């Protein structure tokens, strides 16, 4: 088992990827290929950075990857916001995804803080 597989924040980020990929598939069906691909990339980067950071040899480096993950959450939200404005998704879909992104964001920040308070 890889270290990140036991992290609840990684598990939550994987779960939301499934939801966002389903949305991206629907957007792609509307011939918005580039937008759909960027949405997939942004959301995938959330869990990818958690996973990659877990392989770091120092807590400081791991925190940097968590920062990248956190920034990807904001990028993903921005894309969801735009998708709603463009009527690619419904307001209720946006609310569900946004609430989950907010929870994952809190988890990433909390996890990063816990690494900061421990000796590197």
pLDDT digits (tens, 9 = 90+) for 77-114: 999 999 999 999 999 999 999 999 999 999 999 999 99
Inside any domain, residue 120: no
CB of 115 within 8 A of CB of 63?
yes
Per the domain annotation, does 83 fall within a domain? yes
Output the average pLDDT for the chain.
Answer: 95
Predicted confidence at residue 30, as pLDDT, reads 85
Domain total of the chain: 1
**pLDDT at residue 118, as a whole number:** 60
63 phi, psi to nearest 5 deg: -60, -35
Q: Which domain holds residue 25?
A: 3-115
Please tell me whether the overall predicted TM-score, pTM, comes out greater than 0.75 for this model: yes
Contact 34, 18 (CB under 8 A): no
Residue 88's pLDDT is 95
Note the pLDDT of residue 116. 86
Rounded to whole angstroms, the Cα distance separating 20 from 33 reads 14
From CA 30, how far away is CA 44, in angstroms rounded? 21
Quote the crossing angle between the two packed helices 59-85 and 8-29, to the nearest 10°. 30
Block residue for tokens 């946004």: 98
pLDDT of residue 53: 97
């Amino acid at each position: 088992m890889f270290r990140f597989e036991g992290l609840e924040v990684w598990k939550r980020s994987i779960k939301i990827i499934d939801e966002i990929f389903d949305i991206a598939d629907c957007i792609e069906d509307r011939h918005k290929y580039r937008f759909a691909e960027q949405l997939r990339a942004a959301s995938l980067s959330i869990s990818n950075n958690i996973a990659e950071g877990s392989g770091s040899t120092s807590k400081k480096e791991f925190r940097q990857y968590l920062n990248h993950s956190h920034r990807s959450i904001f990028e993903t939200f921005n894309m969801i916001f735009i998708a709603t404005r463009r009527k690619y998704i419904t307001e209720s879909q946006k609310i569900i995804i946004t609430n989950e992104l907010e929870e994952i964001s809190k988890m990433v920040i909390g996890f990063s803080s816990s690494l900061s308070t421990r000796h590197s």
